[in-house]
Amino acid sequence: MNENVNGKAELYSDAELIKNFPGFENKYTSVNGIELHYVEGGQGEPLLCLPGWPQTWYSLKPVALKLAEKYRVIIVDLRGMGTSEKPESGYDKKTMATDIYELVLSLGLEKVSLMGHDIGGMVAMSFAFNFPESTEKLIVLDGSHPSEGMYQMPLIPSPGKFNEKMDGEMPYAWWMGFNQVKGLPEQLLEGRFHLLQDWLFNYVMIDESKMTEFERSVYAHAYNDKESIRASNAWYQNFNQDIEDLKHYQKLQMPVLGIGSYISYNYMNYGLPFVANDLEVFGIMNSGHYLFEEKPQEVLDIVFKFLDSKKQEK
């Protein structure tokens, strides 16, 4: 793994990886004072896809080609992700959502649907809160806007609840605290990010073999340097600001779809009704956190049904 990450960097460049997305193109643009990388393919109504940690735009590979058969799919590397810029600040979800909003404006789009996973789901929800007039529909997978519930997350796992796989009833996400620490994670993980990444994939997936060795290498390469670790950890270090911002948002009125794994479904089913009026929540209980990789067809079935039914109601 380490040799693959450090010795074959050209394999993990945007130019090489896009070859696995026939019909898609790499694009780069300056918005909100930074440069963003995104890929685009397909035709139809726009669907913006926002990935999570520790992944990049490439995480949409299991579903992107099918989505592009019916939609104009735009997959964005968030601020601090992949080959998008990694500034020193601006990692609160409101600023990150503004990045996406300015991208939408630069593309000449009036309204878009958004689909976000993990951290991407947090940014997608912030977009919907802050720019509702530009949000057609919202889809979040195993990730919703930071809330005060995070303050209840345990410092120490309950007895018997910290095993080889994450416990769905009492999940212990120790990295949420680890990523809060400034300066230390990048010193520990530079050049060896795959150690954390592989442990995480194995812990939060039911079938970790669905995350291929090549995909693991792509993400390890993307997060293997100090700047990338610093920037991505800043997504977590701004949760307090995100929680404060949430107090001032109005309840979402556009159609919202939540998709949860065995880890997150119960929490999403409980929490999302507090922030969304027109809501559907589905659980894919035979999948772990990385739903695109473990259960791509189930995700597509749910997403297409949601998007198509809402189109018919117009």
Both tokens of residue 300?
């597509």
N residues, the chain: 314
Please give the positions annotated as active site.
Answer: 118, 236, 289
CB contact set of 153 (below 8 Å; sequence gap of 6+): 173, 176, 177
Tokens 């193109």 correspond to what residue? Answer: 25
Contact 116, 50 (CB under 8 A): yes
Token pair listed for 129: 């809160």
Give pTM, 2 decimals.
0.96
φ, ψ of residue 201 to 5 degrees: the values are -60, -45
| Predicted pLDDT of residue 1 | 43
Tokens of 134: 């530009």
Q: Is residue 232 within 8 Å of residue 255, measured between CB atoms?
A: no
pLDDT score, position 2 = 45
Integer angstrom CA distances of residue 218 from 102, 212, 288: 28, 10, 20
- CB count, 10 Å around CB of 221? 22
Distance CA 27, CA 40 (A): 8
The verdict on whether omega for the bond into residue 273 sits within 30 degrees of 0, i.e. cis, is no
Right CATH for 2-312 from 3.40.50.1820, 2.60.40.1120, 3.90.550.10, 3.10.20.30: 3.40.50.1820
pLDDT at 313: 52
Give the whole-angstrom CA distance, residue 269 versus residue 140: 12
Q: Is the C-alpha dihedral spanning 100, 241, 116, 212 positive or negative? A: positive
How far is residue 123's CA from residue 221's CA, in Å, rounded to a whole number? 23
pLDDT of amino acid 7: 56
**What is the chain's pLDDT, residue by residue, as a tens digit (314 residues)?**
444 455 578 999 999 999 999 999 999 999 999 999 999 999 999 999 999 999 999 999 999 999 999 999 999 999 999 999 999 999 999 999 999 999 999 999 999 999 999 999 999 999 999 999 999 999 999 999 999 999 999 999 999 999 999 999 999 999 999 999 999 999 999 999 999 999 999 999 999 999 999 999 999 999 999 999 999 999 999 999 999 999 999 999 999 999 999 999 999 999 999 999 999 999 999 999 999 999 999 999 999 999 998 554 54
